[in-house]
Structure 1
Amino acid sequence: MSYFIRQRVTVRRPTGSRKSFKLILDRTDIEGKRTQPTIDSPELTRINHGLNSDEFDYNHALYLVDKLKKKMQIKYKIANNEQGEVSNVNMRMFKKFWQERYEHKDNLKTTTKITARHKFIRVLRLLGSESLLTVDIETAKKLIDKDTSTPNAYNGVIKDFNQLMKHLNRDYTLSKKRVRKREPVAINEEQLTLLLSTLKTQFDRDAVTVMYYSGIRTGELFALNEECYRGETRLFISEQMMRDFSYDDPKNGKRRTTIVYPKGLEALDRWVYNYSLSLKQENREALSKRVVEASLKAFQGRLKATISGTNRKNISNHIMRHSFAKMCLNKGLSISDIAMLIGDSVDVAQENYIGWILENDALQRIEDKLNMV
């Protein structure tokens, strides 16, 4: 069996006399030999047929090819640190484990199975000649720790290793490394004003304002319409919004309601009745979804570039949800109420949105209540 230092999927676009896309598997094996075979895919054939028959334009074809490329990349991806040999004993045990646990699971996608298989093979390669039946805990820990650069990578390998140990009825498991959580970053209203002043268009300023004062995600923002917002301070959010960029009352009644602060209502009115309608004015539903997706990605790129320019580390587009959660906490809302507003569990709200550091307003409120007792 050949082991590859690199395997990546590349796209060749139509140029000159070539009127169709091609997917190329760029391989470099462990001996340094490079090959570039063409990948045959029925999906790619359908895309090329649709392009040549004017079923859709070049940009949409490129979008579909990029999606297919990512799917194929998962199939062929092998990390650089997975070049070690796998002992025959370990491989036989793994095949038996795979057949019992994964082979006949019809509810798993093919790409999911391929990814899982690569992860388990990686564990076997890290162990090298050590047998799964006889390797001791310290040796396994050293071998895995040697070839994993971060605690998260180490914990991922440990999870798969422990599954193999459990299957073999070994009476020990490796414990995960504790990953230090960063305190969620939030901005106050003064910093929001500064951020808004750096945004160039009213479209972007209104989008940021709505997210800051409602705590909704960017995907939910771009799916807002009159059904979600009925002229009040409440927004109705459902799970399918970010998939379909539209809102319908769910049949099972599962939706969340969030509250918009009064300072964000003016921007929300403009967003719902002006921008969202202009984004969805296309006749065909599929094309409309593509337009919204493109606008969403462009906005996320502009916002990320603007936030990165503030020279503050560990800041993402999610900062608006963090800020909304912090603001609600400072106003006296309980963590359970905040969790329902942002649509996450209490543990996630505490760990990823609110954090463990109390602001001065919250501390003052607590002190006042304690003094009243």
Structure 2
Amino acid sequence: MMNESDALSVFDGMRTESPASIENYKTVVRRFIKHHPDVYEVTTDEIAQYLEDMLNDGYADKTVDAARTGLIKFFGQLDRDDDPTDSDKLDIWSWYQYTGKTRKTEKKEIIYLEQDEINKLIENLPAPVLRNELIVRLMFETGLRATELCTLKVEDIDTDNRRIDVIGGKGNKDRTVYYDETLDTLLEIWLVDRQGVYVDNTPYLFPTNRSEHISQRRLADVINKGAEKAGIQETLYVDKSGKGRKRVTPHTIRHSFAMACLNNGMPIKFLQELMGHDRMETTEVYLNALDTDVEKSYRRWGPQY
């Protein structure tokens, strides 16, 4: 048997993954060992069944994929007497294929905001308005993930060239994003105002009066309050835990960035680099969303008399 502390310790010293990814893996493992505490004896079939049960219990494909990835990382790090063979590892990774399960192939709806909705959101943000407006506009202009925005450091911003170096993004991948000159004044004022009013001597761009940088939970709360006041928020569905999933979230703004870029004619390869996607297939999901907006696009950009 392995207790939770020992199980999570296998990720100690893992240098190839970002801290956020490691925390996600630990969450997966905590849940898994409640069902299979004897990880030294668990089989590939049991792992496959565990993931299949998650799918049958109504967990989203994305959640099951995250669990599968976390377990692969865990068992890859775990030193077992009966190490699985390469074919066993392939079975774990490709369990849908080997168990006859078929993934959903229908296009998933991408939730995003139009420019006028972004404007409404900005106009209705809670205090501190200066900070929160800069946050939303920066996310919309760069496509930063929530965790990247929260941990963005002042030293990573090149104000002369309007560039931001994203250090240790998802998958521990670095990239560069850009912003427009319309943010110059707002950013300049904030760089002065953040000193003294919030936590002192912090390297992060967005501190609070209690911590070195804004948390993802606080960021989501800011976006939610602004969206509700603007009248653009809604609950899409209620998940298994009873929590309502909202239409407007920090990730919605990232989607909005991607859709705005494509609608304005940006080549998909450039968008992939700006989004920090390893695989082109991940970025192409947004092209599918464009396909669903054919009529809307025609009404907006078609011939006019």
Does residue 329 in structure 1 map to residue 259 in structure 2? no
Change (3 A) 1:211 1:125: closer
Identity %: 17
The correspondence of residues 202-213 of structure 1 with structure 2, limited to 5 A, is 202=129, 203-213=131-141
Could you report, residue by residue, the CA deviation over 1:261-301 in whole angstroms, capped at 9, with x for unpaired residues? 3433433334455438966624899xx99923554432233
User: In the alignment, is the contact (CA less than 8 A) between 2:111 and 2:255 conserved in 1?
Assistant: yes
Counterparts of 1:45-194 in structure 2, within 5 Å, are 73-74=30-31, 76-78=33-35, 114=39, 117=42, 120-121=45-46, 148-150=56-58, 152=60, 173-194=99-120
Q: 1:299 aligns with which of 219, 222, 227?
A: 219
What does 1:162-311 align with in structure 2 at a 5 Å threshold?
173-201=99-127, 202=129, 203-222=131-150, 223-239=152-168, 255-275=174-194, 281-282=200-201, 291-293=211-213, 295-307=215-227, 310-311=233-234
- The letter of the residue matching 1:298 is R
- Counterpart residue number, 2:76: none
Distance 1:264 1:256 in 2: 20
Larger radius of gyration: 1
Q: Which has the higher contact order (CA 8 A, sep 6+)?
A: 2
From the superposition, tell whether residues 116 and 214 of structure 1 become closer, same or farther in structure 2 (CA, over 3 Å).
farther
Q: Is the 8 A contact 2:141 2:257 kept in 1?
A: yes
Cα displacement string for residues 324-371 of structure 1 (whole angstroms, at most 9, x for unaligned residues): 111112222111111111211332122158723357896599979xxx
Residue in 2 that maps onto 1:349: 283
TM-score, structure 1 normalization: 0.48
Q: Do 1:350 and 1:356's aligned partners in 2 also have CA atoms closer than 8 Å?
A: no
Q: Which runs of 5 or more structure 1 residues have no equivalent in the other structure?
A: 1-38, 43-66, 83-110, 127-143, 244-253, 369-373
SS in 2 for 1:355: helix
Q: TM-score when scaled to structure 2? A: 0.57
Conservation of the 8 A alpha-carbon contact between 2:167 and 2:174: yes
Q: Are the structure 2 counterparts of residues 322 and 115 from structure 1 closer, same or farther at C-alpha, using a change threshold of 3 Å?
A: farther
CA 151–76 in structure 1, closer or farther in 2 if over 3 Å, else same: closer
Q: C-alpha separation between the residues in 1 aligned to 2:227 and 2:41?
A: 35
* 1:77 aligned partner, one-letter code: K
